[in-house]
Amino acid sequence: MTMAAGALPEALAQTLLVRFGERFQSGSAIRAQHGSTASWIATQPPDAVIFPENTAEVSETVSLCGEAGVPVIAFGAGSSLEGQLNAPRGGVSVDLSRMDRIVAVNTEDMDCVVQPGVTRERLNEYLRDTGLFFPLDPGANATLGGMAATRASGTTAVLYGTMKDAVLSVEAVMPDGRVIRTGHRARKSAAGYDLTRLLVGSEGTLGIITELTVRLRGIPEAVSAARCSFATIENACNAVIGGLQFGLSFARIELLDAMTVKAVNRYSGQDLPETPLLLAEFHGSPDSVAEQSRRFGELAGDFGATALDWTVDPEERTRLWRARHDVFWAVLGLRPGAKGISTDVCVPISRLAECIAAATGRAESLGLLAPIAGHIGDGNFHNLILLDPQDPGELAAAKSYVGWLNELALSMEGTCTGEHGVGQGKRAYMEREMGQALDVMAAIKAALDPKNIMNPGKILPERFDGQR
């Protein structure tokens, strides 16, 4: 066993080693894995990693680290995108992957209780025979705890909402080691402060979630998928706005720009028109999904849609959606060997076409390849910027572009992040987005975590770092 490196006090390292044995790890490889980041932000590994198996062990770890003033960083599946897992001040990464028990499924109430290490795919496999499913899909096979901590959403948010809508209550370990429960299984409550929503989206800066009660939905009787192409992004956006105003219940409605469609054609041998593409999905009864697909086709036609195709057949649905499922790998193929850096913003849907057009023009002016795919029903889109991270000029251009895009979204009454969270990557934009509300956030953080041990250096801008 290699002793903990960096700032971890030797006494604490020895205590944790004795307490957790082989579940305390401090080798360089595992530390690097737990500080990895999928952005331009450099990896900052923790000093050690602990694998607890229950809430009591998380509480004990937090208490010991708190006494020593050592940071604690919660770790789920490692799929976050804005440096949430980095350890800029060292500390202990608490890997919750072994806390993966599905505690209870309450079919009549359509909810379930899970530990934070349960992944969404495993939960849905477990639920299959109950007729229920957990509908949120952020793309990656994330853990439920990580999804709650980052307030994740994904392609189905237009119908099913985000994690703030899906989580009924949590059990959490607070910075002083106390274990609290924020609510119960009732579908609504007017009792006191909404601590559930305070912790959902806090990115581990206020506490570590050790159990969740989440809403489930009935598996739809039928699903239909539709696909159509447009001459412009503006026409595609207007078709979606019209569909929403008309009352169409999109379960998913995704947009791919022309460059992304071109990449998909190259990657998977499809022959789609290399113009903006919409992919829609509807859930419901066989008659309702067929009717909604037909109505969507008619409405899209009013905005010049071409190559319209829709189906309820599962295999055909997979074929229609293949363009979206292949996006990441397809886009990487536009520049073999490049690293893909993903960023996201979200604006009112009425400003989405304008925002995407400006973003595309800015990328071109900087010489960046930055194809776009978006959850258009929410006004949320992602750029995958392709660059050589060893090229200082390209890296500087990418950073400049991300900063400019964040500012653009805020100028349009949007947000610097619709899904990815703040972490380290977007904390510089929180002053502009939150205004004086940021001081309230900082006061909550200071009151709950006076030693600033819970995932420090995230969400709140640097000016708050020295206030502890």
Neighbours of 306 (CB within 10 A): 12
Does residue 416 fall inside a structural domain?
no
Quick check: 182 and 199 in contact, CB under 8 A?
Answer: yes
**Of the residues 166, 187, 218, which one is the last residue of a structural domain?**
218
Quick check: 156 and 252 in contact, CB under 8 A?
Answer: yes
CA distance 157 to 159: 5
Does residue 65 fall inside a structural domain?
yes
**Cα atoms in the 13 Å half-sphere on the side-chain side of 159:** 21
Does residue 1 fall inside a structural domain?
no
CATH number at residue 87: 3.30.465.10
Q: Quick one: pLDDT at residue 34?
A: 95
Q: Quick one: pLDDT at residue 463?
A: 86
- Co-location of 228 and 209 in the same domain: no
Q: Quick one: pLDDT at residue 2?
A: 37
Q: Quick one: pLDDT at residue 466?
A: 61
Nearest to 8 by CA among 65, 60, 75, 52: 65
Question: Based on the structure, what is the number of domains in the chain?
Answer: 5
Buried b (16+ CB within 10 A) or exposed e, 51-64: bbbebebbbbbbeb
- Co-location of 45 and 107 in the same domain: no
Q: Which amino acid is at 196?
A: T
Quick check: 276 and 233 in contact, CB under 8 A?
Answer: yes
Beta pairing, strands 250-256 & 111-114: unpaired
CA angle at residue 165 from 160 to 170, to 5 degrees?
Answer: 135
Q: Per residue of the chain (468 residues), give pLDDT as tens.
A: 333 345 799 999 999 999 999 999 999 999 999 997 777 788 999 999 999 999 999 999 999 999 999 999 999 999 888 999 999 999 999 999 999 999 999 999 999 999 999 999 999 999 999 999 999 999 889 999 999 999 999 999 999 999 999 999 999 999 999 999 999 999 899 999 999 999 999 999 999 999 999 999 999 999 999 999 999 999 999 999 999 999 999 999 999 999 999 999 999 999 999 999 999 999 999 999 999 999 999 999 999 999 999 999 999 998 889 899 899 999 999 999 999 999 999 999 999 999 999 999 999 999 999 999 999 999 999 999 999 988 999 999 999 999 999 999 999 999 999 999 999 999 999 999 999 999 999 999 999 999 999 999 999 998 887 644
CA distance 156 to 253: 8
Does residue 347 fall inside a structural domain?
yes
- Co-location of 209 and 238 in the same domain: no
Q: Quick one: pLDDT at residue 198?
A: 98
Does residue 420 fall inside a structural domain?
no
What tokens appear for 40 in the block?
A: 């331009």
Neighbours of 302 (CB within 10 A): 11
**Of the residues 193, 218, 243, which one is the last residue of a structural domain?**
218
Integer angstrom CA distances of residue 303 from 28, 255, 309, 329, 349? 56, 15, 16, 30, 16
Q: Which amino acid is at 445?
A: K
Q: Quick one: pLDDT at residue 177?
A: 98
Nearest to 39 by CA among 84, 97, 91, 90: 84
Does residue 268 fall inside a structural domain?
yes
- Co-location of 320 and 400 in the same domain: no
Q: Quick one: pLDDT at residue 5?
A: 41
Neighbours of 301 (CB within 10 A): 13
Backbone angles phi, psi at 390, to 5 degrees: -90, -5
**Of the residues 285, 308, 329, which one is the last residue of a structural domain?**
329
Nearest to 454 by CA among 186, 149, 214: 149
29 Cβ contact partners less than 8 Å away, ≥ 6 residues apart: none
**Cα atoms in the 13 Å half-sphere on the side-chain side of 308:** 16
Tokens 């999905």 locate to: 281
State the residue range of the domain holding 66: 10-95
